[in-house]
Structure 1
């Protein structure tokens, strides 16, 4: 074969190789070019907390209904910002078109979110807002300040003529959700930070054992308390165990937030007077629907989407809308 023939064959092989190295990129409004399923990422604070397990399971179910693939990652513990940053980077590398995240640190995660959005990834916050709020495209969450306010308003009403003598069991220091619920509760019960009616404040990370220890420590100073604010239901259970061991559970009004089936059962059993139910299953499902819509049409959700909260109690009080525990057990976590 002559040189001219070899040159023609070589040119043809180069052209074939070049065509093999390119692929049609799916735009924000297209299905993946390879015909694969839409990939949606989810990053939760942990993968062990039942709240986030329910959220993840709901997201997975909604993704399957919509023909999408959910890739779920999580931090190793509540507050593991580095773990969440690594998870976002992992999901971007995997080609997720949307990443949903429940931020452990509402400011620490901003750099990773910006990098993802700069690459065209839709980022949705679930359950917890970022700071600033517009660091993500949209947020699907409870109004945590309102949830705290509703708990405080109910506890104040339940106390009746008793003056509040309060201990507060917070979450993780610096957590946006913890601060919002704490401040909302104080607004609802009508107290300000530093008020002498607040006998003590402790961080519990929302964990039952830590909440029990914190309550035991606070009771060493004063056992005349009449009310306990709790960030969530595991913290409420810890407080109840400590109060019961001291023999004073009957004199204390415990309020809480979350609305798990176990939490509703605690209300039914009289351990907690009321809990404010959130709807994480709804947050996740709505987020996945928005992710699928974005992948298909390029339409982005925007702003804060309030997924609602509801007081659950078997002791309703005038002026506060609530549902009983029978309703709560049918609808726990939405």
Structure 2
């Protein structure tokens, strides 16, 4: 036995145990630091941003950090994490569809000992392997906005009812055209060739709402309705929307209805139509409800859009991770659905009978970005 630092007596074996525990904790910290360094140098992510220190750690992985939808999602997660004392690391790829960097982000979150992961997957099928690895380690994985395939590959999904979002704009477009809907020429501007679930759900919902026989609702492009001019992909951005619109106009210059996966793609489609002097003769509908998109509804660029609420998705996701860390509770789906529904509203100043909607003014009060 020997004197302790404060004049008491200290057990040598206890000192050894404390030294060993210090070394183990030190090496864990070093391994975590190395994993984060490798990720930031080997892929397209910036170093993860830490929102708040705390006993519970979580990760948010979005498709990009440019699209206002994901910016608002990050804002919602960050604010809620700060409120609840959750340590949050956030990651984002360079572009929509950047699957490999999302895989590396999940791996980094596993190595860092995250209690929960929130993810908007670029490739909803391919991501399931690394998601399973995370869940096998006892990590709660929640898909935000975009369900994984199959949906139960994640512990829970917090999302807009994306099929309903598409259905609302389809019903509105059909009612707005009236008798002319029977002879419509429809261009569909989708997301990516990978066709993640959100892409399929919105596309198929729109067509069903417009009165098209959608055949297999899990497949884009298998319809045989002669009103469909074709599909093209946009990567969910303005440049992609413009190029896709130009491609479909070459196929049929009589397009008069345009569905777009989101509002940046809709803005690009409008610019393409404008360059051909067609901006006044084509009805554009979309999904998102960001402030720039709602303003485009106000200005007549977009006829109607379905508004979703990304801040709510992310903040509810952080709440779920904190609850899971406390008592192991896993979120339950909304009654009648296989996900937690965070709501959707059609925004237009030209309402039609039988299709519920809110005004542009109300849409601007609720918008994001």
What TM-score comes out, normalization by structure 1 length? 0.89
Secondary structure at the aligned position of 1:276 is classed as strand
Secondary structure at the aligned position of 1:156 is classed as helix
Q: Within the alignment, does 1:231 sit opposite 2:249 as a pair?
A: no
Q: Is the 8 A contact 1:158 1:253 kept in 2?
A: no
Kindly provide the CA deviation profile for residues 120-155 of structure 1, in whole angstroms up to 9, marking residues without a partner as x. 111111011011111111110011111111111111
User: Structure 2 residue aligned with 1:188, among 209, 221, 230?
Assistant: 209
Counterparts of 1:128-207 in structure 2 under 5 Å?
A: 128-162=146-180, 163-174=183-194, 175-192=196-213, 193-207=223-237
Map of 1:313 onto structure 2 = 348
Question: After the TM superposition, which parts of structure 1 deviate over 4 Å for at least 4 consecutive aligned residues?
Answer: 9-16, 18-23
Q: Within the alignment, does 1:262 sit opposite 2:282 as a pair?
A: no
Offset of 1:96 from its aligned partner? 1.1
User: Structure 2 residue aligned with 1:65, among 76, 80, 83?
Assistant: 83
Counterparts of 1:61-140 in structure 2 under 5 Å?
A: 61-140=79-158
Distance verdict in 2 for CA 1:298–1:12, change over 3 Å: closer
In 2, distance between residues paired with 1:310 and 1:297?
A: 34
Offset of 1:333 from its aligned partner? 4.2
Kindly provide the CA deviation profile for residues 154-200 of structure 1, in whole angstroms up to 9, marking residues without a partner as x. 11111112132111111111222111111111111012312111112
In 2, distance between residues paired with 1:330 and 1:12?
A: 62
In 1, distance between residues paired with 2:21 and 2:286?
A: 61
What TM-score comes out, normalization by structure 2 length? 0.81
Q: Structure 1: state its 5+ residue gaps.
A: 1-8, 24-34
Kindly provide the CA deviation profile for residues 237-278 of structure 1, in whole angstroms up to 9, marking residues without a partner as x. 111111122122211111000000000000000111100001
Q: Structure 2: state its 5+ residue gaps.
A: 1-10, 26-52, 214-222, 334-338
Map of 1:327 onto structure 2 = 362
Q: Is the 8 A contact 2:241 2:265 kept in 1?
A: yes
In 2, distance between residues paired with 1:258 and 1:77?
A: 18
Offset of 1:37 from its aligned partner? 3.4
Offset of 1:76 from its aligned partner? 2.7
Offset of 1:10 from its aligned partner? 7.2
Offset of 1:11 from its aligned partner? 5.5
Q: Is the 8 A contact 1:45 1:74 kept in 2?
A: yes
Q: Is the 8 A contact 1:278 1:333 kept in 2?
A: no
Q: Is the 8 A contact 1:148 1:185 kept in 2?
A: yes
User: Structure 2 residue aligned with 1:247, among 252, 277, 289?
Assistant: 277
Q: Tell me the matched-pair count.
A: 316
